[in-house]
Structure 1
Amino acid sequence: MRPAVETTYCDRCGEPAAGVSHEGCLAARELEPPRFCGHCRRRMKVQVVPAGWTATCVEHGTLTGH
């Protein structure tokens, strides 16, 4: 699921969140973890396990999901 916090960048494609339709990204994020930090656009370290996933930005910390 997408975080409830407003972000500057799309966490799937890394492009600016405003001004562009991210319908494909939203659909993909139902099944996939984020790949980019929504705050700084850095590529995140992502680990997927059977119980869920973790995505870590060196600047903004870790997100988890299942």
Structure 2
Amino acid sequence: MQPITSTPTGVDRTWCDRCGGALADGGHDTCGRARHLEPPRFCAVCRRRMKVQVLPAGWTATCVEHGDIHS
């Protein structure tokens, strides 16, 4: 199971958006399951740590390079 996609449309994902590890290395089954319950912590494109705000209605994660992702 791959982590939930949390990148802008048309952008290739290189990094796991939960742990920040390389997707090519594999072993992200736990991350994929956890992402169903929590927001991303790393940008899947550039691996930067994102600013995350969790609200009762959802979450917003912001990468300084690639912008906002919303739930």
TM-score normalised by L of structure 1: 0.91
Q: Deviations over 1:4-56 (max 9, x none)?
A: 75410000000001122100000000000000000000000000000000000
Match of 1:55 in 2: 61
Unaligned runs of 5+ in 2: none
Higher relative contact order (Cα pairs below 8 Å, separated by 6+ residues) = 2
| Residue among 2, 5, 17 paired with 1:3 | 5
Match of 1:40 in 2: 46
Match of 2:18 in 1: 12
Distance 2:25 2:43 in 1: 18
Runs of 4+ in structure 1 over 2 Å off:
none
**Partner amino acid for 1:2?**
I
Unaligned runs of 5+ in 1: none
TM-score normalised by L of structure 2: 0.84
Query: Does residue 1:23 correspond to 2:29, yes or no?
Result: yes
| Percent identity (aligned) | 62
